[in-house]
Amino acid sequence: MYLSLLHLNLDHRQVRKDVANPYSMHQTLARVLDGEPRFLWRLETGSGFDDYGLLVQTSGRPDWQALADRFPGYAEPAAGTPKPYDPSLHKGQLLRFRLYANPTVSREGKRHGLYREEEQLQWLATRLGAAGAEPRQVLVTRRGKLKIPKNGEVVVLAVAQFDGVLQVTDPSGLLAAVRSGIGHGKAFGLGLISMAPYRG
């Protein structure tokens, strides 16, 4: 796997369109990552109103020159981008993590969004448990509704960002979840779980 961080240029017309509409962002990435069988992405907001970064996880090494060729001035890759990403996991390991996701529950064959914080945290515990990890310290740092214009309609998804610490219970299972993403809505910038060493 590879991780890329792109600093977006909000003066660019296509960037403004993509930031406002996750479906459009997915289309832009799909065009320039032609041949990439699976990619995950997340829009990161910085400290400033106009400070946006785009985190992209791919299975192969991406060529961001294709983005520059198609949309000159769209973004500037961060130093070291793309970088190989092959987490070395072991049972009992503590890791910091971030996950921006679509917490849902299925009832009578239909998927329903979860909006209450306690329900979202329970969803996270269930999903991480199935993936091979246990949440240890978690905050819901943003949550609400994501409204996405698509084909003349508006798709509404429940969203929550989880930041905290997890403990690995099944290294191979967790690695598989990192590769595939967690939950639904992956085309809309959801499901990418990023991890880093926990220093205590």
- CA quadruple 75, 32, 59, 53: dihedral, nearest 10: 20
Confidence of residue 40 (pLDDT cuts 50, 70, 90): very high
Query: CA Rg, the chain, in Å?
Result: 17
Look at residues 41, 58, 84 and tell me which one is the last residue of a structural domain.
Answer: 84
The reply to whether 102 and 29 lie within a common domain is no
CB-count burial class (<10 Å; 0-12, 13-18, 19+) for 82: buried
State whether 31 and 80 are in the same domain.
Answer: yes
Domain range for residue 26? 2-84
For 135-163, the pLDDT digits (tens) are 999 999 888 998 888 778 888 999 999 99
CATH of the domain at 7: 3.30.70.1200
First to last CA, the chain: 27
Residue after which a domain boundary falls, among 18, 53, 84 = 84
Residues 6+ apart with CB under 8 A from 171: 89, 90, 91, 93, 132
Q: How confident is the model at residue 66 (pLDDT cuts 50, 70, 90)?
A: very high
What confidence score (pLDDT) does residue 50 get?
Answer: 55
Are residues 71 and 110 both part of a single domain?
A: no
